[in-house]
Amino acid sequence: MQMKNTELYRVLGQVAQGQLSPEEAALLLKKEPFTALEHSMPDHHRALRQGAGEVIFGQGKSAAQITDILAQLTMDGAPVLITRLSPEKAEEVGRRFPLNYSPEGKIASTGSFPEPDGNGRIVIATGGTSDMPVAEEAAFTAEFLGNQVTRLYDVGVAGLHRLLSRLDHIMTAQVIIAIAGMEGALASVVAGLADCPVIAVPTSVGYGASFGGLSALLSMLNSCASGVSVVNIDNGFGAAYQASLINHSGGKNENSLP
C-alpha cells in the first residue's frame, strides 16, 4: 500500500526523529477538529486526513466571514487557499491578512508557495485567451499545492499548429489540464497526443448554443480519446487538486516516513 504525503505522517516523522514528543503529538491529534463559528465550522484536521488544509470558497461569503475563518485556519501557521475571491473582498481581507492574490484567477493564499515536490510537471493548456481566468485558478492552486506548472495558453483546435508546436511540453507532462469552452475539443486532441492523465475543464466561454459551458462539458464527457476525466464547468481548482494528487502519488511505501 502506498502512503500519502500527509500532515499526519509529517507529525509521526517528527516523533520518530525526536523533534516532537509523543505527548506533543497526541495534543495535536486530540485538538478539536473544528471550530464552531456563528456562520461556519472551519476544519482543523483536514490536512491530517487529506494532506492539504481546508480551502475557503469565497463566493457567497462576506469579507468579514472569510476573515473570521482565516483567523481560525491560520492559527497553526499553515498557509490557506481562498478561491472565487473578488478584488473588493481581497482588498478588505488583505488589510488583516497579507495575501498573495491573482486578480485573473480570483484566487488568493496566505503565506508563500512551497518548493515543488511532485513527481513531474503539470501542464495547463487552454483553447483560447478567454479561458485564462479558469486556467489561472488552476495554475495558482497547483503551485500552492507544491507542483511545477507549465502554461500553454491559446493553443486551441482552431489553429492546431499552435498546439503541435508545443509537443515537447505535452509529451513530457506528468498530468495535463485541458481547459476549453465552445465545443471543448481541446481535451480529446491533447489526450490523443499524450501518455499521461488528462483532466478536462469545460468553461462557460462561448456563444448562446454553448449553454454556459454545457456543450463543452458534454463533448468532454463523450471524448473518444482514452485517459480523459472531466470536472465541472469552470472548476479550475478541482482540476488542479486532482492533478496534484496524481503528481504526488507513488514514490513512497508504507515503511517510509518523510
Assess whether pLDDT exceeds 70 at residue 240: yes
Sign of CA pseudo-dihedral 242, 181, 184, 156? negative
Q: What is the mean pLDDT of residues 2-18?
A: 67
Query: In whole angstroms, what is the distance from residue 209 CA to residue 181 CA?
Result: 11
Q: In what order do the strands lie in the sheet with 228-230?
A: 148-152, 121-126, 175-180, 198-202, 228-230
Q: Map out the domains of the chain with their CATH numbers.
A: 1-30 (no CATH), 32-109 (no CATH), 121-247 (3.40.50.1970)
Query: In whole angstroms, what is the distance from residue 178 CA to residue 198 CA?
Result: 7
Assess whether pLDDT exceeds 70 at residue 50: no
- pLDDT (tens digit per residue) in 119-129: 999 999 999 99
pLDDT on residue 109: 92
pLDDT on residue 203: 97
Spatial CB neighbours of 95, under 8 Å, sequence gap ≥ 6: none
Give residue 53's pLDDT band: very low, low, confident or very high (50, 70, 90).
low
pTM of the model: 0.81
- pLDDT (tens digit per residue) in 176-211: 999 999 999 999 999 999 999 999 999 999 999 999
As a whole number of angstroms, the longest Cα–Cα distance in the chain is 62
Query: In whole angstroms, what is the distance from residue 69 CA to residue 102 CA?
Result: 20
- Which range, of 52-56, 151-155, 183-187, averages the lowest pLDDT? 52-56
Place of cell 515543488: 116
Q: What is the mean pLDDT of residues 90-109?
A: 94
